[in-house]
Amino acid sequence: MKLTLRQMFDMPPLWLLLACVIAWWQARNFTYGTSFGGMWADFAGGLLVGGGILLMLLAFMEFRTHKTSVVPHQDANALITSGIYNRSRNPIYLADMLILTGLILRWDAVLSLPLIPILFWVLETRFIVPEERRLLVSFGMQYQQYMDKTRRWV
């Protein structure tokens, strides 16, 4: 399946990047005296970013093992239910959320907290729901059983 120009630019990493750029810009230019309060936020933010990166790497390893596409707009040629996908149907999207939350904490971007539910909504509506529809069409009952036993996020 060939990707359209719109699909090439409508990718989760670009949405994450956009949210991160907004949070960074807000933290540098518009703090209005707000703060999470020092070292604990740096530590928690670092843990979240590191956890997100680790989660993403584990998910990418499963894609590589199963020789299927990680691109959200392409059809999968294998259903991944092993490894980290045994715990979450969407570990890469979960990783995106962890990374954004961690960076908001690290950058002390308090006013950017609304970006977290906004990114959640974008990922869910633009990527997760359409992917689940395609996977149900491709894998039928096997995917339905996987959905029944494995949560969407955590």
Is the pLDDT higher at 37 or at 2? Answer: 37
Q: At what angle do helices 12-29 and 115-122 cross, to 10 degrees?
A: 170
Q: Which of 24-38, 92-106, 121-135 shows the lowest per-residue confidence on average (mean pLDDT)?
A: 24-38
pTM (2 d.p.) = 0.93
Contact predicate 106/46, CB 8 Å: yes
The conformation of residue 85, written as its DSSP 8-state character, comes to G
CA–CA separation, 45 and 104 (whole Å): 7
- Whether residue 29 lies inside any domain: the answer is no
Q: Over pLDDT 70: what percentage of the chain?
A: 96
Quick one: pLDDT at residue 69? 85
- Whether residue 7 lies inside any domain: the answer is no
Q: Count up the domains in the chain and report the number.
A: 1
The residue range of the domain holding 109 is 35-149
Residue 75, φ and ψ in degrees, nearest 5: -75, 140
Number of H helices, E strands in the chain: 6, 0
The tens digit of pLDDT for each residue in 57-85 reads 999 999 999 999 898 878 889 999 999 99
Q: Which residues, 6+ apart, have CB-to-CB distance to 52 below 8 Å?
A: 94, 95, 96, 97, 98, 99, 102
CA–CA separation, 68 and 91 (whole Å): 16
- Whether residue 25 lies inside any domain: the answer is no
Residue 1: pLDDT above 70?
no
Q: Which of 21-30, 72-81, 145-154 shows the lowest per-residue confidence on average (mean pLDDT)?
A: 72-81
Mean of pLDDT over the chain: 93
- Whether residue 108 lies inside any domain: the answer is yes
Residue with tokens 């790497």: 57
- Whether residue 138 lies inside any domain: the answer is yes
Q: Over pLDDT 90: what percentage of the chain?
A: 81
Residue 3: pLDDT above 70?
no
Residue with tokens 């530590």: 43
- Whether residue 126 lies inside any domain: the answer is yes
Residue type at 109 in one-letter notation:
A
Is the pLDDT higher at 116 or at 76? Answer: 116
Q: Quick one: CA torsion of 151, 152, 153, 154, rounded to 10 degrees?
A: 0
CA–CA separation, 55 and 148 (whole Å): 22
Rounded mean pLDDT of 5-34? Answer: 90
- Whether residue 3 lies inside any domain: the answer is no
- Whether residue 123 lies inside any domain: the answer is yes
